[in-house]
A and B are shown apart, each in its own frame.
Chain A
């Protein structure tokens, strides 16, 4: 290997600073959430304790944190499932270049770039005028889909643009029906990417806030609860909640990465034996 140029070391330094910029603040509130009972929102630490985490379990202190966590969790799973299914079917549809696909494509782009507050406002108004009550599992769910589906579809477009069509042709040549080709050839090949779509669907929904603001109704999701707390909570209990919910997100991300790596390894082990002389 040729020696590293000097720019490599400068850029490595830059990258380390960048990571520090990304993670530093979160680590800070992670530390501050273990602040002693007399401590405030900034350093110095006045002792260490689990005081602020205990506070989280007391209804009066922080409101309905656990109820909102449950709602966010259920909503996240609903959005995740829908995102995966609709993105895969939608991604397959776009391979056919059907009439109207360009319009639909630009609608997806619009859903991605439209200011989130417009979705919140528009869906809220629509439900109001239709005489329906907004609820996180109906209007909130739909509003979040306008954010997660474009991401899911972008991933699917990227996947199918790199998909080797000869696998499908081989299956068809051997007499597989369209459904069999999809079920036994295409889906298993793109499965790891679907995990990526699922991860995006869940985490984007779990942390989504702007599009749920006017569409979740009287019962808050967790991000809305936190948003409300930023204005009236001035104790480290806010940090404790931040640490817990970030920890939960990291757990989810870690699980997805582990499963994906495991599947990739398994697949590599059970790879084709072509050319290895085994009959």
Chain B
């Protein structure tokens, strides 16, 4: 018994000696520790993207896809008038949602960071904002239906107040409800990075500005907003990419009446037209990466974490 323990100890010692030697070599140990992460990303991110790129040059019949090297998927995509409409629609959703989440997110983050003095309250209020984000997106979406429907709460309230005589038709299954749902789902992605950046602003800078005679709006515009820029950028990246890649919010909230690029892809998938779906997906990916590339020029994310 004691022998086995002794041996186990010995082998553990030698193991830890090896571990220490590996740890001493920074490159090797770094690679070893990053290996599981790299493996997951290689298998489920890099190869799938390559796969999509390859298949976008294939041909499809009604039942199967055939390896080939044709440009017809791209040709069809880039010459179809539908594509342009759908892309414009996608940008429209992204821009309007971005403006709304930016204004709301900034205000909420500013309130939490600069007006709440006690750390404990800050934590509680921040949690209150974050909790809905951890619940189901689909449920949060459909929960707008009893609110916005023809006989929904919004319409009946407005009628009983005498603001309108007839129920408003554009509240549900319209661009309005799509954007409302986007803002509802993704505003937190704006609040968190902005709040994070604001919490790092040295409060004495604000005091110095006040001592130097700056008014509230001046402090906000000349001190706080410039210092919050990295958070604004990261929030923007999140919101824009989430909205541009979406396909189900638009389907559910527009009652299948509007389309964006994501729906174009998912419709093709539904019809088993994988090559055509892949071509659209590649164009969408390039668009999104271009936008992020531009946004990343304004912020060094590694520094902001």
Query: What residues make up the interface of A, taking CB atoms closer than 8 Å to B?
Result: 1, 4-5, 7-8, 11-12, 14-15, 18-19, 21-26, 28-29, 32, 41-43, 85-87, 89-90, 92-94, 96-101, 104-105, 107-111, 113-119, 121-123, 125-126, 129, 142-143, 145-146, 149, 153-154, 157-158, 161, 177-179, 199-200, 203-204, 207, 209-210, 213-214, 223, 226-227, 230, 238, 242, 245-246, 249-250, 253, 257
Contact = CB atoms under 8 A, between A and B. Distances in A.
B36 A90 contact: yes
B43 A142 contact: yes
16 contacts: A25-B146, A25-B184, A29-B139, A90-B37, A93-B29, A107-B41, A113-B292, A117-B281, A118-B281, A118-B285, A121-B278, A121-B281, A125-B52, A203-B135, A207-B134, A253-B131
Given A22-B129, A26-B143, A89-B33, A226 B138 contact: yes
A126 B184 contact: no
Contacts of B164: none
A249 B274 contact: no
A272 to B, nearest CB: 21
B144 A126 contact: no
Contact of B16 (A114, A117, A179): A179
Given A101-B30, A149-B37, 19 more contacts: A8-B115, A15-B111, A15-B112, A15-B125, A28-B153, A29-B139, A42-B153, A89-B37, A98-B31, A108-B37, A115-B285, A116-B245, A117-B262, A119-B45, A121-B265, A143-B44, A226-B138, A242-B142, A249-B135
Contact of B36 (A29, A89, A105): A89
Given A100-B31, A125-B48, A209-B137, A28 B284 contact: no
Contacts, number: 263
Contacts of B277: 121
A272 B279 CA distance: 60
Interface of B: 16, 19-20, 23, 26-27, 29-34, 36-38, 40-41, 43-49, 51-52, 55, 104, 107-108, 110-112, 115, 117, 125, 127-129, 131-132, 134-140, 142-147, 149, 151-153, 156, 184, 216, 237-238, 241, 244-248, 252, 262, 265-266, 269, 274, 277-278, 281, 284-285, 288-289, 292, 301-302, 305
A243 B244 CA distance: 29
A108 B143 contact: no
Nearest to A99: B27
In the A-B complex, the 7 residue pairs with the closest CB atoms: A122-B48, A115-B245, A98-B30, A93-B33, A25-B143, A93-B34, A96-B30
A14 B305 contact: no
Contacts of B140: 25-26
A230 B142 contact: yes
A253 B135 CA distance: 9
Contacts of A245: 135-136, 139
Given A11-B110, A90-B37, A125-B55, A242 B139 contact: yes
B27 A123 contact: no
A42 B146 contact: yes
B108 A29 contact: no
B52 A118 contact: yes
A43 B137 contact: no
A123 B49 CA distance: 8
Contacts of B137: 207, 209, 223
B145 to A, nearest CB: 6
- Residue of A18, A100, A113 ringed by the most chain B CB atoms within 10 A: A113
A5 B215 CA distance: 13
A223 B38 CA distance: 28
B91 to A, nearest CB: 14
Contact of A41 (B16, B19, B145, B252): B145
A122 B52 contact: yes
